[in-house]
Amino acid sequence: MFLPILCIFSLILSSHAAVQDFCVGDLAAPEGPAGYSCKKPAKVTVDDFVFSGLGMAGNTSNLIKAAVTPAFAPQFPGLNGLGLSLARLDLAVGGVVPMHTHPGGSEVLLVTQGAICAGFISSANTVYFKTLKKGDIMIFPQGLLHFQVNGGGIPSTAFVSFSSPQPGLQILDYALFANNLPTELVVQTTFLDAAQVKKLKAVLGGTN
């Protein structure tokens, strides 16, 4: 029930004008900025337009207790050239997707199990957040910082749709603390103390 609704939202979000019926991605060819080259029509089958990978929960045994299962063109060749992409989000109890952005596209999130506290921050630093229940949908505009947190005592599941085949992803915590930017510069630009910065770098794999 929910996946067909999500697909409809995906099509609404897509702004790419169709110049041919479809362009199933030829995964044997390299991917370029515009996606994959088209598979020859004679080799296209119905299986190119069907993807079953979102039916299983992802592995949430990690630091953030979250898993994202993508349904992008490399996994779902029928999406190639349509200007959209999909994914499944699983959040264990205590799971979180930290503050992050998608520079290349807007996001629609549909909760199908549990509760998820989700929100985004506008360029004016206004915060919009709410605890979403099963059946609730929320939009996250392109490029804005946003987050998702398990909002209940059971695992949560959501399906997301992007208005781009390559929405991109930058997680703020990793951008600040999972690299070799010197601790002194992080302290100066974030107003955190050096001990806290070094602690976060150690947790997230950063150096210096």
Residue with tokens 């947790």: 203
End-to-end CA distance of the chain: 50
Which residues have C-beta within 8 Å of that of residue 103, sequence separation ≥ 6?
Answer: 142, 143, 167, 168, 170
Query: What's residue 138's pLDDT?
Result: 98
- Which of 31, 123, 113, 42 is closest to 77 using CA atoms? 31
Reported as a single tens digit per residue, the pLDDT across 104-127 is 999 999 999 999 999 999 999 999
Q: What's the pLDDT score for residue 57?
A: 95
DSSP assignment letter at 25: B
Can you say whether the dihedral through the CA atoms of 70, 72, 77, 82 is positive or negative? Answer: positive
The annotation places the binding site for Mn(2+) at 100, 102, 107, 146
Name the maximum alpha-carbon separation found in the chain. 62
Query: Which pTM was predicted?
Result: 0.83
For the chain, list the domains and their CATH numbers.
59-168 (2.60.120.10), 173-204 (no CATH)
Numbered residues of the known binding site for oxalate: 102, 107
Q: Which residue has the tokens 């004016």?
A: 124
Query: How many percent of the chain have pLDDT more than 90?
Result: 63
Give the residues across from 86 on adjacent strands.
Answer: 71, 161
- Only one residue has tokens 């709410």, namely 130
For 159-206, the pLDDT digits (tens) are 999 999 889 999 999 988 998 889 989 899 888 899 989 999 998 888
The span from the CA of 195 to the CA of 182, in Å, is: 13
Alpha-carbon distance of 205 to 4, in angstroms, equals 39
Distance CA 169, CA 188 (A): 25
Alpha helices in 107-208 (DSSP H): 172-177, 183-190, 194-204
Residue list, annotated binding site: 100, 102, 107, 146
